[in-house]
Amino acid sequence: MTSALNVLYLNTVRELKTYIRYKAGLMSILMPVLILIIMIILIPILDTDVFFSASGTENIFSFVAAGLAFSSFYELAVNASTRLYSDMVYGTVEYIFSQPVSRYWYLVSYCISNVVAGVVPFCVLLSLSAFQSEISAAQNILPLIVTSVLLVGIIIQFSVIFSCLVLIFKVGVGWLFGASTIIQVIAGAYIPVKVFPMWLQYIAYGLPFTYAYDLIHYSLLNTKTIFPVYTEWVVLFVWCIVLSVVAFVSLQKTEDYVKKQGLHYI
Amino acid sequence: MRDTIVTTTTVGKTYVSRGTQIHALNNVNLTVDKGEIFGFLGPNGAGKTTLTKILVTLLKKSTGGAFVSQYDVDKDAHHIRKIVGYQGQDTERSGYLRFTARENLELFGRLRGIPKKEATERIEELQTIGNFDFLDKYFVALSIGQRQTTIVMRAFLDEKAEIVFLDEPTRGLDPITALQLRTFIQTYVQEEGGTIVLVSHDMYEVESLCDHIALFNKGRIINQGTPTDIKKVLPSFYKITVTLPSPDKSLIEELELLPYVRDLTDSRRLEIIIENVHHVPDILQIMKKYSVEEYIEIRKPTLEDAFIQIVGGDNHD
| β-strand pairing of B37-41 with B212-217 | parallel
Q: Average pLDDT of B293-317?
A: 69
Q: Which of A177-186, B121-130, B163-172 has the highest mean pLDDT?
A: B163-172
Answer whether residue A265 shows pLDDT above 50.
Answer: no
For residue A78, name the pLDDT band (cuts at 50, 70, 90).
Answer: confident
Residue A211: per-residue pLDDT: 92
B4-231 and B238-300 have identical folds: no
Average pLDDT (A35-58) is 71
CATH of domain B4-231: 3.40.50.300
Q: Report d(CA B27, CA B238) in Å as an integer.
A: 34
Q: Are B48 and B55 in contact (CB under 8 A)?
A: no
Contact at CB, A259 and B58, closer than 8 angstroms: yes
CATH 3.30.530 matches B238-300 = no
Average pLDDT estimate for B292-311 = 75
For residue B208, the model assigns a pLDDT of 86
Residue A119 has pLDDT above 80, yes or no: no
Query: CA Rg, chain B, in Å?
Result: 23
Minimum CA–CA partner of B61 in chain A: A260
- Nearest beta carbon to residue B90 from set A91, A98, A256: A91
Inspect the interface and report whether the beta carbons of B110 and A256 lie closer than 8 Å. no
Helix or strand holding residue B167 (H, E): strand B163-167
C-beta atoms of B111 and A90 within 8 A: no
Nearest 10 degrees: CA dihedral of B99, B103, B105, B108? -80
| pLDDT more than 70, % of chain A | 80
B110: nearest CB among A10, A21, A98: A10
Q: Phi and psi of B316, rounded to 5°?
A: -100, 10
> According to the model, what pLDDT value does residue B191 have?
83
Per-residue pLDDT, B19: 77
Residue A100 is classified by DSSP as: S
pLDDT band at A266 (very low <50, low <70, confident <90, very high): very low
pLDDT interval class at B136 (50, 70, 90): very high
Type and span of the H or E element at A243:
helix A229-261
Best residue in A8, A86, A98, A260 to probe B by mutation, most B CBs within 10 Å? A98
Locate the domains of chain B by residue range: 4-231, 238-300
pLDDT at B153 over 80: yes
List strand residue ranges (DSSP E) for B201-243, in order.
212-217, 220-225, 238-243
Residue B132: predicted pLDDT:
77
Q: What is the pLDDT of residue B211?
A: 92
pLDDT score of B223: 86
pTM of the model: 0.77
* ipTM, 2 dp: 0.79
Q: Which residues of A touch B78 (CB under 8 A)?
A: 1, 100
pLDDT of residue A129 exceeding 90: no
From chain B, the residues in CB contact with A261 under 8 A are: 15
> What is the Cα–Cα distance from A256 to B60, expressed in whole angstroms?
8
Average pLDDT taken over every residue of chain B: 85
Q: What is the CA radius of gyration of chain A?
A: 19
Name the residue among A10, A91, A260 with its Cβ closest to that of B88.
A91
Rounded CA separation B303/B236 (Å): 13
* Angstrom distance (rounded) from CA B279 to CA B150: 50
What's the confidence (pLDDT) of residue A165?
Answer: 83
Strand partners, B14: B23
Chain A hits for B53, Cβ within 8 Å: 262
Query: Closest partner residue to A98 among B81, B90, B98, by Cβ?
Result: B81
